[in-house]
Amino acid sequence: MPFEDLEHDLPGLRFSALAVDIDSGETLFSHRPDLVLDTASVGKVFLLHRLLTEVDAGTRSLEDRVTRRPSEWMDNSGLWYLLQADTLSLYDVAALIGAVSDNAATNTLCRVIGLPTVQEHTRALGYEHSGLDDVVRWPLPPGAPRTLSHANADELVRFVTRTAHAADLSAASSDTLQRWLGAGMDLSMVASAFGLDPLAHYYFDRDVWLWNKTGTISTVRADTGLVMSPGRRIAYAVLANWQRGSEVRDRVLATMRSAGDELRRHLL
């Protein structure tokens, strides 16, 4: 994989990348998997995981309804800000986060669950270098975290693998989390190599089945998930950070697609 070459050509660009066959344990590619980077919206997966943990414990129901507050409204990433309904079930709020990385839904669910609870939960699962750092704010006020989330490829691949194996959630909740993420509409990065319908790619299409979560800001591209063929399951994470003002986005996206091409060769 050309991660190292691109980092050499473009000072300030950093990648953390890993892909592993979750059944055999074979590493398919690896580049600085321990490097902790800004992952933008990827850390929202820990919020969804905590919600389902509480559902498994019987302390919360996905049928519970929640009303968004004006302070939680955010546009750009998401769909809820365009909808008239102010009240949704927790299932629908979570589905919006999984499908369109909805910022307003993230802020509302963070208020319901509690950001410190999500952070403690993430650490308790053993993720020491990954987590959700804040709610979604813009502009960032003084004293607020500078990142929405952070992670390295190693821990994200572990999260994906454990989710696929239902290691930390019930089988039903693990399926639910994968279904929410399987509705994700951002296939612009690693997943662009698979040629899937961005609006409907859960279940097999041309012998490829994908669920993933991405993160995007002006200095970040991050993509992690599980891609499957009828005979193989691969967990992957490719994270890229670069300096503000650096014109590297197109080359980063091309490199992330090449990582997807490599995964597709191993799948098919």
Q: What mean pLDDT value characterizes the chain?
A: 96
Task: Provide the angle, in degrees to the nearest 10, between the axes of the packed helices 171-182 and 90-100.
Answer: 50
Does pLDDT of 1 surpass 80?
no
Decide: residue 154, CB within 10 A, 0-12 exposed, 13-18 middle, 19+ buried: buried
Mean pLDDT of the 126-132 span: 98
Tell me the pLDDT tens digit for each residue of 93-114. Answer: 999 999 999 999 999 999 999 9
Tell me the pLDDT tens digit for each residue of 216-235. Answer: 999 999 999 999 999 999 99
Angle at 208 between CA 253 and CA 160, to 5 degrees: 70
User: From the centroid of its chain, how far is CA 1?
Assistant: 22
Amino acid at 194: F
Mean pLDDT of the 249-260 span: 97
Confidence grade of residue 75 (pLDDT, cut at 50, 70, 90): confident
pLDDT of amino acid 76: 82
* Rounded distance between C-alpha atoms, residue 87 and residue 108, angstroms: 10
Does pLDDT of 268 surpass 90?
no
- Exposure string for 11-39, b = 16+ CB within 10 A, e = fewer: eebbbbbbbbbbeeeeebbbbbbebbbbb
The pTM score is 0.97
